[in-house]
Structures are given as structure tokens and as C-alpha cells.
Chains A and B, each alone.
Chain A
Amino acid sequence: MENNFFGEAKAVILGLGEFRVGTCPMGTIGLGSCIALILHDPRRSLGGLAHIMLPESHGSTDRPGKFADTAVSAVLEEMERLGSTKFSVTAIVVGGASMFEYSANSLNIGERNAAAVKDLLREQGIRIGHEETGGKVGRSVYFWPEGKGRLIIKRADGTCVEL
């Protein structure tokens, strides 16, 4: 699907299980139970985004962006390679919704995803600057790493926040 939200050619939309570090605008559309983890280094105008699907990798390494444990370290390592440190980055955590009503089954994995990501950030000593997790709505996230960073979260119910 075309996504012209950014109106910029170099913007990237990340699919399930992907991650990216860079200075270009990035985003994910239609986050349900998944988590968009953003690490941002304002001094370097550098950002990293991972579209995390599940909490634990159980040793699988082929798609580091897919699992919370591998994604946190993958994004952090990539940013450290470009000069950031644990102490210069702040995190933004969005997503982890429970999408289905009338359902007692295991489709609601969002909560576990959110908890796993936050635990990992705490272990690493990374400050969480903004968090919007849980609830029952899907969200789209757009992030511009330039300077202080700009974040837009568009919710499925039509509301929008901008930071």
C-alpha cells in the first residue's frame, strides 16, 4: 500500500519484524499487539525504530527486529556503532493493544509485548521518554529523528497526538 504520510521520498515504513537506524523519518502503520520501539539520540539527530512482534526470540536470530529481546540490543548496538551511548538515548514505546473483543483466547499478546520491552529497557538503563501502550485501538506511528525529534501517533478511533 502506498503511504504518503511523510511526503518525503526517503522516509521508511517498517513492516513486521523489521528495524532500522538512521536519520530519515520512519514509521509503522497499523500497530496492533506489536510494539514500535523508538530509540532517539537528539544530539546526533539519530533514531532507531523496531517493529516488534513477540516478546522472546528463544534463540532465533535471523530477524532481530521481530522479538523484544533481540530488537532492543540490535537497535542499541547499531546506534552505538554510530556514536550514541545508552545514556544519550531515550526510548519511546507505542503499541501492545488488545485487538479483539469477545475473545478469551491467546490473540491478546500485546500486554506481554509491552511488559517485555519495558523490562529490557530498564535492564539496559535506558530512560523511557514517552509511552503509549495497551488499550484496544490500533495505532500508526511516525517519527522524525531530527533534533528534539517529532512523534505522531494516529489512533484507529481517529484521534492523533503529536509530540
Chain B
Amino acid sequence: MELNSIQLDALSEFGNIGAAHAATSLSQMLMSPIEMKVPEVQVVDIARMHSIIGNEISAMVVFQIQGEVADGGYIVVSMPRETVIQLTNQMLGTNDTGREINEMDQSAAIEIGNIMISAFLDATAELLGIVMLPSPPALAIDMAHAAFESIVAQMAGDVNDVLIFNTELVSEAPPVYGCIYLLPNTELMQQVSLMLERLMKPIP
């Protein structure tokens, strides 16, 4: 997959707007400010995936992008274990941080992911002028690379690289850290490029 710098910028801006809306929804849920790091867009060879996504244990909520582009790729919210527990505590008003992940944490992670990604896709779909909906969420609490492998296996049967947009969301109090990854497939990427072309046209 060859992308020129304009296309990479387009995707970066596209993801940035989506992530900003996701961050806002998280901030509203936590009632605290969320800081968003500068996003990164990379074309990653599948063999080098492990240099970007490590094998530390994380909770990952995965959505397939559906709607007008039938299979637009995948979008993932990834959080360390401590963050998931922190988020559950915050929402339930408990403060037990040393425990293991339980069922309540799992459904909290899914729900938070769902709200964030719905905000992400709502905002970006409007930009593209198409309907994009998240699939029902799937959750894995496991080595990050192991979960991403399963996603990439669905996407990169015929190609040897994937496009990854990612951005970090950080809050200090409560200490929360998360990442949003967007892996668009070719069709969605085309839509994003078209969008940019439209935006770049001089106003008649």
C-alpha cells in the first residue's frame, strides 16, 4: 500500500476529529479533562507489527466498521488493566484498585468503548457524508499483539501491510490511559481521500 503524504495527512486529520469526539465523550463520562496526544499514521508491514504493538496485557474493545462501506476496517480502544479497573471504580463509586479484572470491569470496558467509538464514527461519518456504524463490540483482555494479529488476519489476506492510525488519550486524575487504533481498509481509505479532494477544491 503506497500512500502519499497528502493521503496520510487526510487520514490523520480524519482520525483526529473522530478521536477528539471520542475523548470528549470519555471526558464527560469521567467528569475530568482528557488530554489527547498528536496522532500517528503509519503503513505497517505485517511482519513488523510486533515492533509497534507489544505483548503487554491490555483490554481491547474491537469494532468492525459497518454501514455504507460494508466492511470499512476495524477500530480498537485499548486500555491497560489498571485503567479498566479505574474506570469501573469511577462509575460505580468504589475505590478498590488492587483487584483482578472481573465481569463488571469487562462490561464497563465494553460500554465505555462503545460510547467512545460511536462518537468517533458519528463525527467522521458526517465528514465523509456516509453512514458508518460500529459492529457489536468484541472484547479481549490479553497480549495486545495477539489480539491485533486476529484483526490483521481478517484484513491482510491479500496484502502485506496495514494502515494504522493511533492516538493516545490521557487523564491525570483519575489516572486513565487509553489508545484508539483505526485500521481502515482500502475502500474506506478511498472515501477519506475523496473527502480531502472535495475539501481542497477552490470555492467557485
B151 CB contacts on chain A under 8 angstroms: 107
Measured between C-beta atoms, what is the minimum distance from B108 to chain A in Å?
13
Q: Mark B137-170, 1 if CB is under 8 A from A, else 0.
A: 1111011111111111110111010000000000
Task: Select which of B51, B136, B139, B146 is within 8 A of A156 by beta carbon.
Answer: B146
**Are B160 and A102 in contact, CB atoms less than 8 angstroms apart?**
no
Q: Mark B38-69, 1 if CB is under 8 A from A, else 0.
A: 00000001111111111101000010100000
**Are A17 and B145 in contact, CB atoms less than 8 angstroms apart?**
no
Task: Select which of A16, A33, A53, A100 is within 8 A of B138 by beta carbon.
Answer: A100
**Are A30 and B50 in contact, CB atoms less than 8 angstroms apart?**
yes
A100 with B157: in contact, given A30-B143, A30-B145, A53-B46 (CB under 8 Å)?
Answer: no
B55 CB contacts on chain A under 8 angstroms: 1, 29-30, 138, 140
**Are B154 and A15 in contact, CB atoms less than 8 angstroms apart?**
no
Chain B contact residue count (CB 8 A cutoff) = 39
A63 with B152: in contact, given A17-B47, A102-B139, A107-B62 (CB under 8 Å)?
Answer: no
Residue of A nearest to B47 (CB): A15
**Are A101 and B149 in contact, CB atoms less than 8 angstroms apart?**
no
A34 beta carbon closer than 8 Å to chain B: yes
A31 beta carbon closer than 8 Å to chain B: yes
Task: Select which of B45, B51, B143, B150 is within 8 A of A140 by beta carbon.
Answer: B143
Docked CA distance A29–B149 (Å): 11
B64 CB contacts on chain A under 8 angstroms: 105
B110 beta carbon closer than 8 Å to chain A: yes
A54 with B145: in contact, given A15-B47, A138-B55 (CB under 8 Å)?
Answer: no
**Are B49 and A15 in contact, CB atoms less than 8 angstroms apart?**
yes
Measured between C-beta atoms, what is the minimum distance from A78 to chain B in Å?
17
A156 with B142: in contact, given A30-B149, A99-B150 (CB under 8 Å)?
Answer: yes
**Are A15 and B48 in contact, CB atoms less than 8 angstroms apart?**
yes
B143 CB contacts on chain A under 8 angstroms: 29-30, 32, 138-140, 156
A30 CB contacts on chain B under 8 angstroms: 50, 53-55, 143-146, 148-149
Measured between C-beta atoms, what is the minimum distance from B76 to chain A in Å?
11
By a beta-carbon cutoff of 8 Å, the part of chain A in contact with chain B is 1, 13-18, 28-34, 53-54, 60, 62-63, 66, 97, 99-103, 105-110, 136-140, 156
Contacts A13-B50, A33-B153, A136-B142 known; list 20 others, CB within 8 Å: A15-B45, A15-B46, A16-B46, A16-B47, A16-B152, A17-B47, A29-B50, A32-B143, A32-B146, A33-B149, A53-B149, A53-B156, A60-B158, A99-B140, A100-B147, A103-B62, A107-B138, A109-B154, A137-B142, A138-B55
